[in-house]
Copies of this chain bind each other. A is one copy, B any other.
Amino acid sequence: MSHDIKHKPSTLTFNPLDSEEFRRQGYMVIDFLTEYYKTIEKYPVRSQVEPDYLQNRLPKFAPDDPEPIETILRDIHNDIIPGLSHWQSPNHYAYYPCSTSIAGVLGETLAAGFSVVGFHWISSPAATELENIVMDWLANMLNLPKSFTFSEGQGGGGVMMGTTCEALIATITAARDRVLNQIGRDNINKVVIYGSDQTHSSSFKSAKIVGISPNNFRNVKTTRAHAFALQPEALRAAIHSDAKKGTTSTSAVDPIAELSEVAKEYNMWVHVDAAYAGSICICPEFRRVINGVESIDSFSFNAHKWFLAALDCCCVWVKDSSALTKTLSSNPEFLKNKATESQQVVDYKDWQIALSRRFRSLKMWLVVRSYGVNYLRSFLRSHIHMAVYFEEMVVMDRRFEIVVPRNFALVCFRLFPFAVLSHGQKFLEDESLNELNADLLESINSAGRIYMTHTLVEGIFVLRFAVGSTLTQTRHVLSAWREIQDQADRILARKMQLWGCSSS
């Protein structure tokens, strides 16, 4: 390749990391976001664009020459913002929240500014050590058993990943290899994973990725009668049925105390994915929802969901980190160093699937310090209070029903208007009811004043109202409910006309 150079080094026309230019543009971006937060309520919460809207607005090819930040910010305002669904809007109740905060955004800014790669301790010791410390802080806030902390010194500890799926791939791989080391690597087709049929699809996707046969996913059935909680006897029956057939179990997920008793009998790895609800366990009155956590192998929650962290940060704890490092270690020559050889340090690359990793602990450190434990508890409780408030309003309107008992700050309800319609019998057919609720949801989301999503449980189309955006206040919840009622009025009036019903 000696022929590829024709000139001596020359000076570039400008420096992409010029400090004063960084300040100038940085202020502009901060001002832009300030304005965005100030005016966020004026945008439709769910974007109203049609597929391919952006292709028609942007050039087909990258520009040859630099464009000024002023132009780019103008284009973000004109072309990108219309295509965003505003997850930070106080009127966003869709999916689960993805809450951010001043500390979360600025923590990301600082992390990107340093852009250090903490794959092992030596490549930036502060990145690793701050993660050790903050994960212990969070473990204490959640009142996790000491066996999940570094300070206990028995091999437990926490690691920050991007998403639950990464956490699941890492822990299922560790669980799989623990079993395969006992029964032989050729028996991967005998490994089974158990979860409730309410388990998030990520679990089975992760299991499939790590090579567990899709025939070996056990979706243990749950029922509305038990509020869709996985029952220990159902889990036991499923395991028992497999054990007779000679398969081998690895991983059970979902509710804990008695379930992990069952799992222990079969030497299974138990992972509890508390992606959304984990946060609330910093409030002592809610800690009971993870009772039994002392007997499981690994635990995770997403700080980007309901903990002000901005996307992304999934906090994962394991009791026996060697189960991860045995499976996920790599030790290429170019990463060898004295600190690693001393065995006095944590090399996080061996705790996760990727080599590179972002400096997420800096962000979490900012979040926890900027708000403090007491305020964080108040913050989460305020969302629960608002969800209860919303639930009470739903209950008071005879046209609606709560479908599943409220857990945390998520209300699952639907329009169920048989009591107020003279010929309401029609609506008792599930299909018509589902259609009615789907129409209601679409008209609400198309209006754009609030954004909700749905789910289907036991064939019932359910509206989900998830409180959790940082900016949401009681007045927003009240307006949201009014909006839902208004849209229901309109839909019901239309349907009644259509079907020749008369209002009661």
Q: Could you tell me if B33 and A30 are in contact, using CB atoms closer than 8 angstroms?
A: no
Count of this chain's copies in the oligomeric assembly: 2
Q: How far is the CA of A369 from the CA of B72 in the complex (A)?
A: 8
Interface readout for A79-102 with B: 1 if CB under 8 Å, 0 if not?
Answer: 111111111100000110011111
Q: Could you tell me if A114 and B129 are in contact, using CB atoms closer than 8 angstroms?
A: no
18 more contacts with CB within 8 A, not counting A22-B34, A99-B115, A302-B356, are A1-B405, A4-B285, A9-B382, A10-B385, A16-B101, A21-B102, A25-B106, A26-B33, A51-B121, A51-B342, A55-B129, A62-B372, A66-B370, A66-B371, A85-B116, A85-B124, A87-B124, A210-B210
Interface readout for A324-356 with B: 1 if CB under 8 Å, 0 if not?
Answer: 000110111110101100101100000001111
Which 10 A-B pairs have CB atoms at the shortest separation, nearest pair first?
Answer: A211-B211, A83-B126, A26-B30, A108-B112, A54-B129, A16-B101, A163-B354, A165-B354, A201-B330, A333-B456
Query: In chain B, what residue has the closest Cβ to A338?
Result: B442
Interface readout for A130-164 with B: 1 if CB under 8 Å, 0 if not?
Answer: 10110011101100000000010000000000111
Which listed residue (B112, B141, B162) contacts A62, Cβ 8 A? B141
Q: Which of A238-246, A263-271, A307-315, A488-496 contacts B (4 or more CB under 8 A)?
A: A307-315
Q: Could you tell me if A84 and B116 are in contact, using CB atoms closer than 8 angstroms?
A: yes
Query: In chain B, what residue has the closest Cβ to A367?
Result: B16
A255 in contact (CB, < 8 A): no
**Could you jot down 6 A-B contacts, CB within 8 Å?**
A1-B407, A9-B386, A19-B34, A29-B110, A32-B110, A88-B115
A113 in contact (CB, < 8 A): yes
Which listed residue (B54, B67, B100) contacts A369, Cβ 8 A? B67
Residues of B within 8 A of A127 (CB): 83-84
Residues of B within 8 A of A52 (CB): 129, 344
Residues of B within 8 A of A310 (CB): 112, 115
Residues of B within 8 A of A22 (CB): 30, 33-34, 37, 102, 105
Instruction: Report the minimum CB–CB distance from A290 to chain B (whole Å).
Output: 14
Q: Could you tell me if A166 and B354 are in contact, using CB atoms closer than 8 angstroms?
A: yes
Kindly name the residue among A16, A61, A69 whose own CB sees the greatest number of chain B CB atoms within 10 A: A16
A interface, size bucket: 35 or more
Residues of B within 8 A of A164 (CB): 354-356
A420 in contact (CB, < 8 A): no
Q: Which of A185-193, A229-237, A422-430, A479-487 contacts B (4 or more CB under 8 A)?
A: A185-193
Q: Given that A8-B385, A169-B353, A358-B311 are known contacts, is A106 also in contact with B378, CB under 8 Å in the complex?
A: no
Residues of B within 8 A of A42 (CB): none
A448 in contact (CB, < 8 A): no
A400 in contact (CB, < 8 A): no
Q: Could you tell me if B188 and A63 are in contact, using CB atoms closer than 8 angstroms?
A: no
Per the 8 Å Cβ criterion, residues 427-470 of A in contact with B are: 442, 453-456, 464, 470
Q: Could you tell me if A17 and B356 are in contact, using CB atoms closer than 8 angstroms?
A: no
Q: How far is the CA of A386 from the CA of B371 in the complex (A)?
A: 46
Interface readout for A374-418 with B: 1 if CB under 8 Å, 0 if not?
Answer: 110011001011101100000000000000011110000000000
